[in-house]
Chain A
């Protein structure tokens, strides 16, 4: 039953997760409750994306921009040359992110030791994981653009 809770955003889960599990133990699981939880998860993510910001922009706005860009690529409204250049930019950002992530990981290893460096407790480890995320996103963008 608990796995359902992990579909909620982390902040929401930390605040209401235990309470929700306690209530679910009392109500039990049924198809109606599962559907209700699913709607709750969508609602919680909607709130989370509306509030979380990246470089001062709401995450929902960033997602809309990315989606619009994808629509432009799919409908071929952006020329192939433009796509090629954007693909190269995405690849450069991906590689830079990967390079910086590795540097931070090694620096963290020297700072806190090899095994603790792989935990998410230090700021450097969090930054490194964030950069790896950026690497993944931009590399996917690169693959999408080069295959479009």
Chain B
């Protein structure tokens, strides 16, 4: 894996969903819809899943079922942690400058 590229918002939401437990495609969609009041389409979902899998951040769990569950890899955990820390920095800077904290 080369230089880490920035992933899109749906990719991060998928990683956050998988941080809780292993989920298949439709379960990820439901989880995102429930928690963020944001609907992710199947085309966007699988586009993001393919990118995450290629980057080595998630992997598929082989089953006989047509619904394949995905799990977050260690590299995925490291990446998500970095991204969340970065977001926290931006959030706290923004809040400070707005005088909210």
List residues of A whose CB falls within 8 A of some B CB: 12, 15-16, 18-20, 22-24, 26-27, 32-33, 35-41, 43-44, 47
Contact = CB atoms under 8 A, between A and B. Distances in A.
Given A19-B68, A22-B66, A39 B25 contact: no
B58 interface: no
B44 A40 contact: yes
Contacts of B29: 23, 27
Contacts of B41: 32-33, 35-37, 39-40
Contact of A36 (B26, B43, B51, B67): B43
Given A19-B68, A22-B67, A23-B29, A36 B42 contact: yes
Interface of B: 24-26, 29, 39, 41-47, 49-51, 66-68
Contacts of B50: 12, 15-16, 44, 47
B67 A40 contact: no
Contact of B66 (A18, A32, A38, A39): A18
Most chain B CB within a 10 A radius of its CB, from A22, A39, A47? A22
A22 B29 CA distance: 13
Contact of B46 (A20, A26, A35): A20
B43 A19 contact: no
A43 B66 CA distance: 24
B42 A27 contact: yes
A147 B10 CA distance: 47
B25 A40 contact: no
Contact of B26 (A26, A37, A41): A26
15 contacts: A19-B25, A19-B46, A19-B66, A20-B25, A22-B67, A23-B26, A32-B41, A33-B41, A36-B42, A40-B41, A40-B42, A41-B43, A43-B43, A43-B47, A47-B51
